[in-house]
Amino acid sequence: MKKGNPHLKAAFLEAVDNQLADNDPPETKETLDRLIGQGMSEDDAKIYIAQAVSVEVFDIMKHQKEFNLDRYLKNLKRLPDEPEL
């Protein structure tokens, strides 16, 4: 994530940590492991995953839609490329 609201960044990273702790969805941990295996630090990998989370939160807030698990999982697979709306 680029510089911005540190509280918002912390909230997205907390969501990533919660997904990892709960192993829900398991693809979050798989993505973390894959990105680390590609030479990325754990912190940077979590920031990339948080970007995918932010796409979903944005869509929920802007369009009053539910969490789109299919798109989220596709965006996880795309990382480190930018997530898509």
Residue-by-residue pLDDT tens, the chain, 85 positions:
456 789 999 999 999 999 999 999 999 999 999 999 999 999 999 999 999 999 999 999 999 989 999 999 999 999 999 999 8
Residue 32 within any structural domain of the chain? yes
Whole-number pLDDT of residue 65: 87
Whole-number pLDDT of residue 2: 53
Are 52 and 72 spatial neighbours (Cβ–Cβ below 8 Å)?
Answer: yes
- Number of domains forming the structure of the chain: 1
Residue 59 within any structural domain of the chain? yes
Residue 83 within any structural domain of the chain? no
Whole-number pLDDT of residue 1: 45
Residue 84 within any structural domain of the chain? no
The residue segments making up the domain with residue 65 are 6-78
Residue 85 within any structural domain of the chain? no
Whole-number pLDDT of residue 71: 96
Whole-number pLDDT of residue 20: 98
Whole-number pLDDT of residue 5: 86
